[in-house]
Amino acid sequence: MSDADEAAVLAANKAFYDAFSTLDIRRMEEVWSREDVVTCVHPGWPALDGWARVMDSWERIFDGAAMMTFTITGAEATVGGGIAWVTCTENLTSVAGGRVMDAQVEATNVFCSRGGQWLLVHHHGSPVLGG
Amino acid sequence: MSDADEAAVLAANKAFYDAFSTLDIRRMEEVWSREDVVTCVHPGWPALDGWARVMDSWERIFDGAAMMTFTITGAEATVGGGIAWVTCTENLTSVAGGRVMDAQVEATNVFCSRGGQWLLVHHHGSPVLGG
């Protein structure tokens, strides 16, 4: 693992959250690896697998959210041989149906190197309850 | 990635759940890599990091649970260059304080190869809500 690899993975992680916070499905599609093995667990949801199901879920989330801001804290990347994972905390403010909601989500994001680019293959977010 | 690697990772994943279901802290210690970078997110909890904090959390969970049975479904392993991750669903029945509880937890488990052995470095479990 090099510092450069780690920086590249953290940049890919940031691109994911930038896509998330702009609610832009095209940008979200760009950060994910376009393959059937991708998986995604949204907070409180059962696991989704496959590119189509995962992208459909983001569309539904983006359609339901009027505004979404993130502060990502504690991002740590570990890289080894074409696979990397990041753990971080999503400090999230969203507006939906006229209500402002603050939430904290613990996230695990797994990236694979594809043609020199780190692409997301697995996102797992879980609600911090009772905070 | 070879089938043998994948099988070894799935065996390590099974050893983790065997340790979990027997509520045996010694067995749980054996499946984790003994290092400060390990991290753990229990369902609904904030992230814990470091061997000591993670093991302390398992002791507290084991102390509070009289019985815990698991059926693990949908376990899929991906292996690359010394890092592997597994996604699976924990179908869980536990007894605590005289109450029987059924729960479904989505899990991401990350393993690193250390001296030829796959050891757990990150566990992330999230509750499936409202199921």
Q: Across the 131 residues of chain A, what is the mean pLDDT of every consecutive 10-residue run?
A: 87 96 94 93 94 96 82 93 92 84 93 94 92 51
Asked whether the beta carbons of A110 and B124 are under 8 A apart, the reply is: no
Alpha helices in chain B (DSSP H): 3-22, 25-31, 51-64
Which token pair is B88? 């699976």
The conformational region for residue A98 under phi > 0 = left, psi -120 to 50 = alpha, else beta, is left
As beta bridge partners, residue B41 has: B124
So what's the pLDDT on residue A1? Answer: 54
Sign of CA dihedral A74, B36, B8, B83: positive
Contact between A47 and B84 using a beta-carbon 8 Å cutoff: no
Contact between B81 and A83 using a beta-carbon 8 Å cutoff: yes
Nearest in space to A81 (alpha carbons), one of A113, A117, A109, A110: A113
Residue B69 has pLDDT above 90, yes or no: no
Contact between B130 and A44 using a beta-carbon 8 Å cutoff: yes
**Min Cα separation A121/chain B (Å):** 10
Residues present in chain A in total: 131
